[in-house]
Structure 1
């Protein structure tokens, strides 16, 4: 889903894609009307401390590398705002020292406003980071014609009234096999038309101006946070509106390769 990869399927403003993935990166540029946003999901600051506590896995921190990748993407895209689609931090239940140290350095370096669509790993971050980060409710928010949310809860009606809905949470990946039976996992994008019927029991749609939105599920930005193989039976989805809300979704690799229907990859 690199620029131009999907032709007229993109939600568009004029002749420009509203949300356009950055080639070879788990991030996208979004036209927010009066701003350009750099969107990414599942940053998971402080994950190494979490893995040490949760699984006894000892890894050197990659905080400096994660921050450098964000700064490079901001420079490459000229974005005016950084938008994180949830799980900016890793620790569930409150911000830990490792998270705060990494995020303090990140926020001091980015030089643009930051919006966080509140994720299930972000408890306590809003208070800890104060007014340096704009934090949405759990159901997300509208930024121009783009709806942003993490995806662990039902979207707000405002999000569903957008032209394109951007989400994280799923850590989208696909399992690919070669001709001799070898396999590998690759980060991927998942996108397609959002099905209105999937929200009938979870969201009051009476006042929503339904615009046949496209949903874009982002791969995880953090290389150590794992992923859900969306083309493997039994893996399942995490969001309460998937897979029902994405009846005809397609998968794309980070280099823009179109894999087709994610269930048949």
Structure 2
């Protein structure tokens, strides 16, 4: 799949067939994922009484295969690395410890806190304990959910459940998760299937203009092609469901979507362009 944003700015390149993308930021290559939701099956059992076998090994193998395939310097998680909203439980923490132990030992990891990530920073970045448990020598950084700017305002990363930090909105491209975007496709004989999608377009300045924290951001007055490009990343976890982009009455989860989209198109994971998400 080629980069749909033909510009001289930062390059965000979706990995064909996968809910992940690479980003070249300065001299660093990053792999971007969102909504891993480690421990999801335990959450279903505890919260809803639904017994689903753990898919933790499959998730881990898919991510480790992607790391081997793309060879990044850094893994960036756009929120919801874990599933429980409070402190991670035994199964969830165990899944993440095995996951991190499977990473290349020098891999740096940046986690933007999602609404499900609770108290993840209380143990994920506790250097002595975590490095002892996983053997990792790469850095592990947890940042607030309003996000972080990578490079020289090249790529902004946030989760999407809260308004982005001003530094994120000043970036050329903004990547977020939280929505788990997907479409429901139907064939001529009534067959239906759900497909995860990328959602890509440009921001509309309208919902951001009245917020005082953004008053110094120049593109809010200009709009149009001066607005940042936006990429809504599909959920890495294929069990979690999501927002159906193409069904009437579906509400977005983010406080700034869909009002914050001047335009956006949906793409399947294999690169198929579906066109404007509202008319798929």
How far apart are 1:87 and its partner, in Å? Answer: 0.3
Q: Does 1:3 align with 2:2?
A: yes
Question: In structure 2, what is the equivalent of residue 190 of structure 1?
Answer: 199
Map 1:105-254; keep pairs closer than 5 Å: 105-111=98-104, 112-130=107-125, 131=127, 133-144=140-151, 145-202=154-211, 204-210=213-219, 211-254=226-269
Q: Does 1:101 align with 2:94?
A: yes
How far apart are 1:10 and its partner, in Å? Answer: 4.3
How far apart are 1:209 and its partner, in Å? Answer: 4.6
Q: Which has the larger Rg?
A: 2
Secondary structure of the residue aligned to 1:208 is: coil
- For the aligned residue pairs, the C-alpha RMSD in angstroms reads 1.4
Name the stretch that deviates more: 210-219 or 116-125: 210-219
**Distance (Å, rounded) in 2 between the aligned partners of 1:56 and 1:95:** 19
Change (3 A) 1:203 1:168: farther
Change (3 A) 1:228 1:11: farther
Q: Is the 8 A contact 1:11 1:164 kept in 2?
A: no
Bigger RCO (CA 8 Å, 6+ sep): 1
TM-score where L is the length of structure 1: 0.93
What whole-Å deviation, never above 9, does each CA across 1:55-89 have from its counterpart, x for those lacking one?
A: 11111111111111111111111111111100000
TM-score where L is the length of structure 2: 0.88
What whole-Å deviation, never above 9, does each CA across 1:223-250 have from its counterpart, x for those lacking one?
A: 1111110111111100010001113110
Q: Where in structure 2 are there 5+ consecutive unaligned residues?
A: 128-138, 220-225
**Distance (Å, rounded) in 2 between the aligned partners of 1:128 and 1:258:** 41
Secondary structure of the residue aligned to 1:124 is: coil
Secondary structure of the residue aligned to 1:260 is: strand
Q: Is the 8 A contact 2:183 2:194 kept in 1?
A: yes
**Distance (Å, rounded) in 2 between the aligned partners of 1:95 and 1:209:** 40
Secondary structure of the residue aligned to 2:174 is: strand
Q: Is the 8 A contact 1:91 1:122 kept in 2?
A: yes
**Distance (Å, rounded) in 1 between the aligned partners of 2:149 and 2:248:** 33
Question: In structure 1, what is the equivalent of residue 50 of structure 2?
Answer: 57
The size of the alignment, in residue pairs, is 258
Q: Does 1:41 align with 2:34?
A: yes
Q: Where in structure 1 are there 5+ consecutive unaligned residues?
A: none
Secondary structure of the residue aligned to 1:72 is: helix
